[in-house]
Amino acid sequence: MAKKPKAPTPYALLGQRIQRVINAPKAQSNQRVEIARLPDESPDDWGRLIEELETLEHVTLTPLEDGAMRLVWNPEESMA
């Protein structure tokens, strides 16, 4: 009998949502995007995601007054 695929964790779903935002054509063109936690997303998962993003080279995170984050990247620097 085939096993049912496991449902993604809430953290994985958060990561997938942010990845879609970052991969949007406008975000890619501007090399920046603003991201924010949705009300149904865990503050712990959000904090974990932000901590992981802060470890990436050539990525800058700036907290915004409304609790969102501005994410800016430079792909040319990451290719060097």
CA distance 18 to 76: 21
Q: What share of the chain is helix, strand, coil (3-state, %, to 5)?
A: 45, 20, 35
Q: Residues 22, 71: contact at Cβ < 8 Å?
A: yes
**Tokens linked to 32:** 């920046």
State pLDDT tens for residues 10-49: 999 999 999 999 999 999 999 999 999 999 999 999 999 9
Q: What region does 31 belong to: left with phi over 0, alpha with psi -120 to 50, or beta?
A: left
pTM value > 0.75: yes
Domain ranges of the chain: 11-79
CATH of domain 11-79: 1.10.10
